[in-house]
Each structure stands twice: as structure tokens, then as C-alpha cells.
Amino acid sequence: MSSIVWKLVGPGAGILATAVASRLTKKIWVTATGSPPPDNPEDPDVAWKEAVVWALASGAIIGLTRLVVERQAAVWYRKSFGELPPGLGPGDDGAVEANS
């Protein structure tokens, strides 16, 4: 049952965080520059500087927001179920251990 809960909570937290961070990033951009962010930074008509700054700013803010929200979701899960969510415990990184 608990793994089913995490399959809903984990992605849900990520989606919510991305939506909130995206809106926050746009508001910060408008406040800092006085103009709306580029609709499509890949458009060759958008200046390189603007496209690069937008990519760095939006990537950093969205990534950091997702990290914070998903960590808090994992804290809630551990408090609720007494263990870390599936895939977050020690040795759950998918790496193969070397035999010595």
C-alpha cells in the first residue's frame, strides 16, 4: 500500500513544484527585466544573452523548487510510513556493487 501512495505522491509533488516554480520564475523575470520572458528561447530571433539567461534562471529555480518539494514529500512519507519511499534508501540508487 505504501509504495502505491509514493507512486502518487512523488510525481504529484514534482508536477506541483514545477508548476509553482514556473510561475515564480516568470514573475521574477518580469520584475528583474521589466519585460516578459521569451516564449521560445530556441527562436533565432531571441537574443542569445536573453535565451541563455532565461535557460539558466528557469532551470535553476525549477530544479531547486522540485528538490525542496520532493524532499519534503519524502519526509512526510517517512513520518507516515516509518521508512523512506521506495528508491530513496541506501543502496536504492540502481548501482551495482563491486565484489571485493
- Domain extent listing, the chain: 10-35+46-80
- Average pLDDT, stretch 1-24? 85
Give the sign of the dihedral formed by CA 18, CA 24, CA 28, CA 31: positive
Would you call 49 exposed, middle or buried from its count of C-beta atoms within 10 A (0-12, 13-18, 19+)? Answer: exposed
What pLDDT is attached to residue 7? Answer: 83
What mean pLDDT is predicted for residues 15-40? Answer: 91
100 — pLDDT class (breaks 50, 70, 90): very low
* pLDDT tens profile 41-66: 999 999 999 999 999 999 999 999 98
Q: What is the pTM of this model?
A: 0.72
Q: Is residue 77 within 8 Å of residue 9, measured between CB atoms?
A: yes
